Amino acid sequence: MTERIVVVGAALLDAGRLLAARRSAPPELAGRWELPGGKVEQGEAPEAALVRELREELGVDAETMERVPGEWPLRPPYVLQVWTARLRPGSAAPEPLQDHDALRWLTHAEIWDVDWLDQDVPAVRETLPKLDAGTRAR
């Protein structure tokens, strides 16, 4: 049986906006936007991997909230799973420290303004209702 490796992505939410990150590498992905994250390491829980990746790549202290239903195929043997996440109190604001060269906080109306990686599009679509839930009562 082929080994399957989970790549975790974060739908990082803040005040009804979703964070999009523009990849700077590898060349075939550079310039496209993604839900930031990375590969789960052996023996690591996916949520812990996501918190680690967000710290390494964006310099933030984040926590996961819920799994976004679904799983999306990447280049074999990788599959993408997504969690909603938020910044913990006192966290720094995200900065593109590694793997990215731009970040944008998108409102629902702006979600399709960026050129998402094809494989991230269905995951982004699934997170939209959660984004709306976060825009109420402010």
Long-range contacts of 42-48 (CB under 8 A, 24+ apart): 46/6, 46/8, 46/81, 46/83, 47/8, 47/83
Q: Closest CB to ligand 523 among 77 and 89?
A: 77
If binding means CB under 6 A, how many residues of this protein chain bind ligand 523? 16
Residues from 71 through 100 that contact ligand 523 (CB under 6 A): 74-75, 78, 80, 99
Residue 125 CB, shortest distance to ligand 523, in Å, is 14
Q: Which spans of this chain sit near ligand 523 (rule: CB under 6 A)? A: 7, 9, 29, 34-35, 37-39, 74-75, 78, 80, 99, 117, 119-120
